[in-house]
Amino acid sequence: MTLLILGGTGTLGRQIVRKALENGFQVRCIVRNKRAANFLKEWGAELVYGDLTLPETLPAAFQGITAVIDAATTKVTEENDNSSIINVDWYGKLIVIELSKLINIKRFIFLSILNSEKYPYITLMEMKYRVEKLIKSSGLTFTIFKYAGFFQSLINQYALPLLEKKPILVTSKSPAIAYIDTQDAAYFCIKSLSIKEAQNKIFATGSSRAWKSEEIIGLCEKFSGQKAKTLMFSILFFKIFRQITGFFDWSLQISERLAFIEVINDTPNFKSSIQYTYNILEINPREILELDFYFQEYFEIMLKTLEEIKKTKASIIAT
């Protein structure tokens, strides 16, 4: 089976490539920059140049493909405005879906955001939901995974500010969110390819325990041995601020912002939705990494590295 992976250089995409190769799949990746993606080639993937904003660059990669995993999304940068999101996360996806139909692939896996259907005023959410609807009506055999966020995104939001002695931004009404490690999210994706019941399903995806902001800060404090400074905002503040100034482009830095705005707040039955995902994909929750272990390992490595840097600096100064 040859998999075509889009977004293979990304945070989740690279874990999908790795897991697919470990499981014996042939992997082809559409990449914008072959040099930057060379690590995927070293792992054993084939690289084909392609850019979602340049439709003519895409068809060549589809020859001989059995399944597509689309982990590509607009990179969050100051320059990437709503039109970049629309070009990549809507028009680019239209082409990918059409090409997948044309060669009759066996499975189309799309990665989306939890509650995308509820936030049409956030461009990325709107595009994600549109693509989900398009896939469902396309006749393709599909599986869609929807995430609240990845453990990896929490490093920037909680761990780094704490280590840099900067304030951590939190909202007054903090929802409990079931984040997931990208290695586990990749495991879910690859496993779904061999499970018939995963066909034509949409899965809410997270680890089995949900965490509130204050609990995550507690973990960081415990494993770093440092006290966090927090800056509390009300959700109302964000809403009013957005309406008055338009300053916050909610489509930007979505992964970070998702973690502390109301987006995940009103997800009824999230726990049972996640349980459903585990049941269908035959996943034992004990196999899945939990956030406390992830942070424990992160801080152990970081503190050791920082200590070594300090010692090296001291010995350089002394000589």
Q: Which residues bind ligand NAP (CB under 6 A)?
A: 6-13, 32-33, 51-53, 71-75, 88, 111, 113, 147, 149-150, 153, 255
- 3-state SS class at 142: strand
- Cβ proximity to ligand NAP: between 51 and 117 the closer is 51
Whole-number minimum distance, CB 285 to ligand NAP, in Å? Answer: 20
Residue nearest to ligand NAP (CB): 10
Instruction: Report the nearest approach of ligand NAP to the CB of residue 138 (Å).
Output: 17
Please identify, using beta-carbon distances, which residue of 73 and 251 lies nearer to ligand NAP. 73
Burial class of residue 266 (count of CB atoms within 10 Å of its CB; 0-12, 13-18, 19+)? exposed
Q: Which CB, 7 or 175, lies closer to ligand NAP?
A: 7
Under DSSP, is residue 177 helix (H, G, I), strand (E, B) or coil?
Answer: strand
DSSP 17: H
The nearest distance, CB 152 to ligand NAP, in angstroms, is 7
Nearer to ligand NAP (CB atom), residue 41 or residue 304:
41
Q: Are 268 and 162 a contacting pair, CB within 8 Å?
A: no
- As a whole number of angstroms, the distance between CA 130 and CA 122 comes to 12
Which segments of the chain does DSSP mark as H helices, in order?
A: 13-22, 38-43, 82-86, 93-102, 123-136, 151-154, 160-163, 182-192, 213-224, 235-245, 254-258, 270-280, 291-318
Nearer to ligand NAP, 11 or 265 (CB): 11
Which residues, including other chains, have CB under 8 Å from residue 257's CB and lie 6 or more apart? 250, 263
**What is the smallest separation between the CB atom of 139 and ligand NAP, expressed in angstroms?**
22
Q: How far is the CB of 3 from ligand NAP (least distance, A)?
A: 15
Nearer to ligand NAP, 147 or 294 (CB): 147
In the complex, the smallest distance separating the C-beta of residue 12 from ligand NAP, rounded to whole angstroms, is 4
How big is the chain, counted in residues? 319
